[in-house]
Amino acid sequence: MNAIVEMKSMNKFYGTHHVLKDIDLAVTRGEVMVILGASGSGKSTLIRCVNGLEMYQHGRLVVDGFEMPVEADRRLGGERELAQIRKGVGMVFQQFGLFPHKTVLDNITIAPMRVRKKSREEAEATAMKLLDRVGLRAHANKYPGQLSGGQQQRVAIARSLAMEPHLMLFDEPTSALDPEMVGEVLDVMRELASSGMTMMVVTHEMGFAREVADRVVYIDQGSILEIGKPDEFFDNPKNDRARSFLARVLKH
């Protein structure tokens, strides 16, 4: 078993609202897993649990060999251990989350310098390579506010990659973008997937899911209803609710 993420009957509540119900899921190294579901189904919450931005109450979650504590234990501290696991798990957000007061280059180098204790020269060299990879080398000294949404999201991806993560989480990375910019971000993600990166992607881009995903997970009302190969899922969904979801999103 070579799972990087393992969830065993994981449960999460917001107060009395049961957000995630008995989630059993394993992500193997090198796999690209796309998580689909209507909004409010709990798919973002699911991947936010993986790097500890959300806490869960029951069950078990192991990320990269690290046992993520349940909420009751998180209250006792353990921020340092969390930071340890987050070093190896990158995350890309819907709203980019770039630091507006820092240049693109500083956005990328701050974590490697502070967390991995790299020298400025080393961090900047890596950053420039990553900017090359996402096609933004010329923008290194601009501020995020001077870039388009698609460019900002590519910087955000480069920033995560600078920490040399073993796993990348994408939380609706293209949902806040103008339609003409979606492609450039998906291209970067496609390239990243082909390079062998383990990825968990929450998205509404069905074309991307079908093309890039190794497995597709369908979540509805906090439960996993279907897991399978993209072709099987898109052509022949077994679950009724998955079928009607696909009918709704594939219509246009």
Partner 1 sequence: MIATSIKWTRHNLFGKPLDVVLSLLVIPGVLWLAYTITDWAFASAKWDIVVQSLRVLMIGVFPADQAWRAWTASAIIGAILGAGLGCVFCFKPHHGLVLLLVPVLLLIVDGGLENALPATGIIASTILGWALTSYVPLTRKVLPAAAFTGFIVIVAVMAPPGVGLWGGLLLSVLLTLVTSVLSLPIGILLAFGRQSRLSSLRIICTWYIEVMRSVPLILVVYWIWILMPVLEPQWGLADVARGMIGFTIFYSAYVAEYVRSGLQAVPRAQTEAARSLGMSEFDINRSIVLPQALRVVVAPLVGNVLDIFNSAPLVFIIGLTDFLRAGQMILANPQYGDRTFEVLSFLLVTYFVIGSMITYAARKLEDHMATGTR
Q: Which stretch binds partner 1 (CB under 8 A): 6-14, 78-86, 198-206, 233-241?
A: 78-86
Query: What is the spatial distance between Cα 69 and Cα 78, in angstroms, rounded to a whole number?
Result: 9
Size of the site for partner 1 (CB under 8 A): 32
Tally of CA atoms within 13 A in the half-sphere of 75 that contains its CB: 4
Instruction: For residue 14, state whether it binds partner 1 (rule: CB under 8 A).
Output: no
Residues 101-130 that bind partner 1 (CB under 8 A): 101, 110-111, 114-115
CB of 32 to partner 1, least distance (A): 19
* One-letter amino acid for residue 119 of the chain: S
Tally of CA atoms within 13 A in the half-sphere of 26 that contains its CB: 7
DSSP code per residue over 162-207: TT--SEEEEESTTTTS-HHHHHHHHHHHHHHHHTT-EEEEE-S-HH
CB of 49 to partner 1, least distance (A): 13
Report the residue from 55, 143, 176, 228 that binds partner 1 according to the rule CB under 8 A.
143
CB of 115 to partner 1, least distance (A): 5
Tally of CA atoms within 13 A in the half-sphere of 3 that contains its CB: 14
Q: Which stretch binds partner 1 (CB under 8 A): 19-27, 32-40, 85-93, 121-129?
A: 85-93
| 3-state class (DSSP) for residue 37 | coil
DSSP 239: S
- Residue 92 in tokens: 């890309």
Residues 175-234 that bind partner 1 (CB under 8 A): none
Q: How far is CA 64 from CA 22, 49, 76, 85, 157, in A?
A: 21, 13, 22, 8, 20
Instruction: For residue 72, state whether it binds partner 1 (rule: CB under 8 A).
Output: no
Instruction: For residue 250, state whether it binds partner 1 (rule: CB under 8 A).
Output: no
Report the residue from 51, 109, 151, 153 that binds partner 1 according to the rule CB under 8 A.
51
Residue given tokens 């990348």 in the structure block: 168
Task: Closer to partner 1 by CB, 69 or 237: give it.
Answer: 69
| 3-state class (DSSP) for residue 93 | coil
CB atoms within 10 A of CB 41: 23
Report the residue from 87, 139, 154, 215 that binds partner 1 according to the rule CB under 8 A.
87
CB of 173 to partner 1, least distance (A): 13
Query: What is the spatial distance between Cα 153 and Cα 149, in angstroms, rounded to a whole number?
Result: 6
Residue given tokens 């501020």 in the structure block: 143
Task: Closer to partner 1 by CB, 94 or 223: give it.
Answer: 94
Instruction: For residue 79, state whether it binds partner 1 (rule: CB under 8 A).
Output: yes
Residues forming the site for partner 1 (CB under 8 A): 51-53, 79-80, 82-84, 86-91, 93, 95, 97-101, 110-111, 114-115, 143, 145, 156, 159-160, 163, 169
